[in-house]
Structure 1
Amino acid sequence: MPTFWNCLSKVIDDNLYVFGGFTNETTNHNFYVLNLKTKEWKVYESNIFKNLDAVTQNQNTLIEEKNGFYIIDEYKMFYLDLKTNSIKQYKNKLSKHYPGKFILNDTVYGIFESKTDPKYNFIFEKYPLKKHITNVNDFIVLDQIYYEDRTELYFTISVIFMLLVITIYLIITKKYWFISLIYNTPFIYSIKKDKLFYKGKLVSVLNNYDRLLLEKQILSKNNFFPLSDLNDLFSDCKQQDTMDVLIKRRETKLNGFIKTIAAVSGLSPEKICAFKKHDSDKRIKEIQILPNAITYI
Structure 2
Amino acid sequence: MTIRTARLRALYVCVLAGLCLLAFGAPAGADDGTTTPPRAAPPARAIPRTFASYDALIATASAVAVDQTTLYAQLLATRADADFAQSALAAVYDPRIRGGLVRTETNVSDETTLGALRAEIASTTATETRLLNSGATGAAPAPTWQRPLAGEISQPFGPTYLGLEPARLYKGVFYGHFHDGVDILARAGTPIVAPARGRVVFAGRMGDGAEVVVIAHDNGLVSLYAHLQDGPLAPTIKAGDIVQPGDRIGAVGLTGLTTGYHLHWAVYKSGEPIDPLTTLAD
Same structural fold, with TM-score higher than 0.5 when normalized by the shorter chain: no
Q: Which has the larger radius of gyration?
A: 1
Flag the structure with higher strand content. 1
